[in-house]
Structure formats: structure tokens, C-alpha cells
Amino acid sequence: LPERDRADLKRRKLLLEVTLKSYWIRKGSAFSTTVARQETELTPEMITTGSWQQRPFKPYNFSALGLPPACGHLHPLLKVRSQLRQIFLEMG
């Protein structure tokens, strides 16, 4: 359709434009029918046998935040001191 006619039909809501996307999927060089488990640790056995050269390793994420630190606790003597202080404050 010419642009002028198409704009007229769109204005009158008689034309609906739809965009279709299509993809071609082909087998790549790393295609496999099984899922290979990636190694996360390098063990001394792998180094001595040389098997680490043929195994896939999981990439390391350097931007990960890691585990949050565990909360600290008060020393037992500091707890006793704060309890005694609270008792004396209640007594006046």
C-alpha cells in the first residue's frame, strides 16, 4: 500500500500493523545432547593426572558480593556489666 493510503486506514482503525520476527537456529560447535557438569574446584588429583586440561571449568565471578559476615556478640562480662548497670538504674 502507498504510505498515504496506509496512514488513512490506520487513522480510521481499519489497518493493524504487526511486526513478525523470526530466528534461524543451527547447531553450534559446542552442541551436545547431554549437559556436561562444569568443575568448580581444581584438586591435586586433577593436577597429577592432567585431567584438568580436558574438563570444562565454571567461570569465576569476581563481581559477586560473597556471604554476609556473621553478626558479632557481646563479651559475657560486658553483658553482666550492662545487666548490673540496668539493675542499679532501676533502683535509683
Looking at residue 57, the DSSP 8-state letter turns out to be: B
What is the structure's pLDDT at 35?
Answer: 84
What is the structure's pLDDT at 45?
Answer: 93
What is the structure's pLDDT at 84?
Answer: 95
Does residue 3 contact residue 9 with C-beta atoms inside 8 Å?
A: no
**Tens place of pLDDT per residue across the chain (92 aa):** 899 998 999 999 999 889 999 999 999 988 888 888 889 899 999 999 999 999 889 998 889 888 888 888 889 999 999 999 999 999 98
- Three-state SS for 39? strand
